[in-house]
Chain A
Amino acid sequence: MMPTILIVGAGPAGLMAACEAHRRGAHVILIDEALRPGGQIYRQPAPALGPAAIGLVTERQRKNTILETFASIANDIDYRPNTTAYAIYAGPEVHIAHGEQSEALRPDGLILAPGVSERAVPFPGWTLPGVLYAGGTQALLKAQYVKAGDDVVVAGAGPLPVVLAAQLVEAGARVHSVALLHPMRRMTRKPLSLLAGRAVVREGFEYLKILRRAGVNVLQEWMPLRAEGKERLECVKLVRHDGSGRPLSHSERRIECDLLAINFGFTANSELVSMADADLIYDPERGGWLPLVDRFCRTSVANIFAAGDGAGLGGAWAAAAEGRIAGAAAVQSAQNNALESLNRELAADFLQRDRHKKFQLAVRETLRLPPAVWSWADPDTIVCRCEGVCSDRLRQAMADGHVTLDSIKRNTRAGMGWCGGRTCLSAVAALIADGHPSSSIKAMTPRPLARPVSIAALAQHRAQSDVANTATSGKLAAQT
């Protein structure tokens, strides 16, 4: 019988998983909370906005390849945008919501490809309006054709600050400085990895060329000291640091600006896989809590697969390859076929994934956060933005013996607000690890909902029998 494969996430990983599973004859349901396919890196504008205006030619080509491949099958699968997976129970049974409707699906195979979110590193003033994540700023450029500011400072670690600064320049913003936590030459510590990712490195040089032409200061081994302003960002103080994240005296620079874009790396969106009770590992360098997966993207739970950056940072190219691997493996497993035959069939995908994961070793050299980063916050700097929990309050709780996330959460309410802890918990975990290096950081017990959904949606929950019915009844109530 034709197995039903449910895929969560329509970024490069989820899209390629959908294509591969469809090609192998599965009935594919693909859901994503976004309105359009593409995920983070290949985010698409609303149709009323014209064709993409920024980005390197090579990146646009990659994007078009992925999106066109998906477009060729989109009408043959059950693709549901604007639909959120908010809970997973044994089975797997996946609960999804679309507006005010919700229902439960029981697929034969589940592929989680939810991607990542930007990693919070609290510092004084980071809550001021005008301090945005760099990826968020980029999302506004890519999907809205709006610059979030005119006079810009970009700060952070890894490649995204450079990429975003160049894209802002292209969009016509005045970018004053890019403050990189680590010198870029750190990547050369892993020369073979650099070679593996030479296509990406070439793009990096293109972006740097754009910055050089625009006269942007690229400061290396600098950090944001504080963001200042009354009710909105007015200026940023940058400072040179000693290589381990401690500011050096007399090196401060004050820059007036209306946008500070920051990115200090990413954390995996692991709420769903954690709720599915899959075994997790904690690896801050690869994205925090990650599902343990084998080379076929199998998690520890039968018929649940994890692919893309959400299963460990690997970048967009690795995500696409991994998506194809997971798509094929999910279908094979659902049909009780051995997976080993895929080794040959998907040799090119394994190669592409391994090459880009190897390149990530070099990227990671520029993304590693030295421990002093977790002392940037002043005692009154807010760490949990939803519940207004300051750094001082967290340290007090730790001094009182609360050294697990669950215990800190109950004691301080950190991580219990609207965002479900997706913004601050990685920072809280890092603070605990910083104060108590010996403590093992366990993922927090997930709350019943991995995402906030409307009460109406829960009330309307369709006690749905199984997906086979779904397949025959076509698109569900969710669409009506």
Chain B
Amino acid sequence: MSRATDRRFGKRDGRPFTFVFEQRTVEAWPGESVAAALLAADERHLRTAEDGGARGVLCGIGVCWECRCVIDGRPNTRACMTEARPDMQVRRQRGLSE
């Protein structure tokens, strides 16, 4: 069920830009976290645990580390605590680190 409706609401200043998640180009707005931009783009699966299970945002506030991705080559980077920036390269993290 991937109905891509607009998950954003409220007013936003500035202009949207894009970054890359896996192979996909994802839109983000100034001030948004990587996690928020990915959820708005309906990307849920942010890391794959050692047992192969898909995981994504749980706490949204930096506590659980379930959203850790590889961002611009840095593993274990929490998507919910990282501000999205133009042309960022974000990948799913596999296993404990990589």
Interface residues of A (CB under 8 A from B): 33, 40, 45-54, 117-118, 127-133, 135-137, 139-140, 144-151, 171-172, 231-234, 256, 258, 382, 385-386, 388, 417-419, 422-423, 452
Contacts and interface: CB of A to CB of B under 8 A. Distances in A.
Most buried by A among B2, B5, B68: B5
Contacts of A135: 59-61
A128 B80 CA distance: 17
B40 interface: yes
Interface residues of B, number: 47
Contact of B60 (A140, A151, A382): A140
Interface of B: 1-3, 5, 7-14, 29-33, 35-37, 39-40, 42, 44-46, 49-51, 53-66, 68, 76, 80, 83
Contacts of A172: 9
Contact of A139 (B7, B30, B61): B61
Nearest to B39: A148
Nearest to B37: A146
B44 A130 contact: yes
The prevalent SS among residues of B at the interface is loop
A131 B58 contact: yes
A418 B76 contact: yes
Given A136-B57, A385-B64, A232 B45 contact: yes
Contacts of B40: 146
B32 A146 contact: yes
B13 A40 contact: no
B13 to A, nearest CB: 5
29 contacts: A46-B83, A47-B31, A49-B29, A117-B63, A129-B44, A129-B55, A129-B57, A130-B44, A131-B58, A135-B60, A139-B61, A140-B57, A140-B60, A145-B8, A145-B9, A146-B7, A147-B7, A149-B39, A171-B9, A172-B9, A232-B44, A258-B2, A382-B51, A382-B53, A385-B49, A385-B55, A386-B65, A423-B63, A452-B65
Contacts of B53: 127, 382, 388
A22 to B, nearest CB: 27
Contacts of B12: 48-50, 145
B9 A147 contact: yes
A33 B62 CA distance: 9
Given A232-B56, A385-B64, 9 more contacts: A46-B30, A48-B30, A49-B29, A54-B10, A127-B55, A130-B44, A145-B10, A146-B36, A258-B3
B76 A132 contact: no
The prevalent SS among residues of A at the interface is loop
A233 B44 contact: yes
A385 B66 contact: yes
Nearest to B40: A146
A329 to B, nearest CB: 29
Contacts of B30: 46, 48
A128 B54 contact: yes
B45 A129 contact: yes
A254 to B, nearest CB: 14
Contacts of B83: 46
A144 B9 contact: no
A234 B46 CA distance: 16
Contact of A136 (B32, B54, B55, B61): B61
Given A129-B55, A144-B33, A50 B10 contact: yes
A197 to B, nearest CB: 25
Contact of B56 (A49, A130, A137, A234): A130
A43 B3 CA distance: 29
Contacts of B10: 49-50, 52-54, 145
A118 B32 CA distance: 23
A129 B57 CA distance: 7
Nearest to B66: A385
Contacts of B7: 146-150
Nearest to A257: B1
Most buried by B among A149, A417, A419: A419
Contact of A137 (B3, B13, B60): B60
B55 A144 contact: no
Contacts of A52: 10
Contacts of A150: 3, 5, 7
